[in-house]
Structure 1
C-alpha cells in the first residue's frame, strides 16, 4: 500500500482562461484579431491569465480581456483548450471566441502593446504555435458575413 504524498508535493494543474478577441476593422470592415505583447516574456499571445480562486472560467477570460486590452467583449463559442507545462506545473487554458464591443487600450504592467491584425498576420505574429492553431478554430465559428 502506498503512502499518499503530502499536498505540497502534488502537481496541481494551473487553471487559466482567455479569449481570441476579434472585431471588424473600423477602417476596412475586415476581420481583425487582437494580440497582446507581454514584456516580461517578450511574446505575442492571446489575452489570458490565471483564474482567481473559485472564479468561473468564462468570467475569468472576460476579466483578463478587460485587464489586458481595455476592451469589453461578448463571448461566443468555446474554443479548444491548451494544456502545456509552465514553471514546472501543468497549465490548462480555456479559450472563447469573443467580439470586442467597446474600450480602449492603455499600457499596463502585464501588457505594453496590443495589435489588431488580419488572421494570417496574427497567425504569423503569435509566438507559440499552439496559439496560432486557435486562429482556425475561431474562423470555423464565425458565420460568413459576420
Structure 2
C-alpha cells in the first residue's frame, strides 16, 4: 500500500515516465554515377550544427514509414524507395526519451539539393567517410546495418 509521503501518483511524485518522442528517418543511399560505388546522404542541420541522416518527428497518427519518406523529401528534396528496416534508435534528446525508426532507402531521382529552413547542406559520401562525418555515435551503426542490407540484396 502506498503511503501519502511515498513518491507516486497519490503522493504527488513524478508520476508515469514521459512517453518517447516518436520519429522516423532513412539512411538514404545511391550508386555514384562515376563507377557505381555506394554513397550515403548526410544532412547538416544549422539549428543544431550537426550532421545526421534525414529524420524527423512523426505527425499525430502518422505511420512511421510514411513519416520517414516524408522527412527525406522535406529535408533533401528527393524521392526515395524504402527498403529493409534498420535498427530503431532510442536515446534522450532535450531531456526526453526519443525513439527513431529507420529504413534503408535508395534515392530514386538525384535531384539538385535546395537548402531549406531545416537543412542547409547535403553531402553524398562513401560509407567510411560518412561514419566520420556523423556527429552522433549512435548514428554510425546505421551505416553498418545499411551495408549488411544492401549486400544481401
Normalising by structure 1, report the TM-score.
0.92
Within a 5 Å distance, the mapping from 1:1-146 to structure 2 comes to 1=2, 3=9, 11-102=18-109, 103-143=111-151
Q: 1:3 to 1:9 in 2, by over 3 A?
A: closer
The structure with more radius of gyration = 2
List gaps (5 residues or longer) in structure 2. 3-7
Name the one with the larger strand percent. Answer: 1
Normalising by structure 2, report the TM-score.
0.88
**CA-atom RMSD in angstroms:** 1.9
- Divergent runs of 4+, >3 A: none
Distance 1:62 1:40 in 2: 22
* Shift in Å, 1:9: 7.3
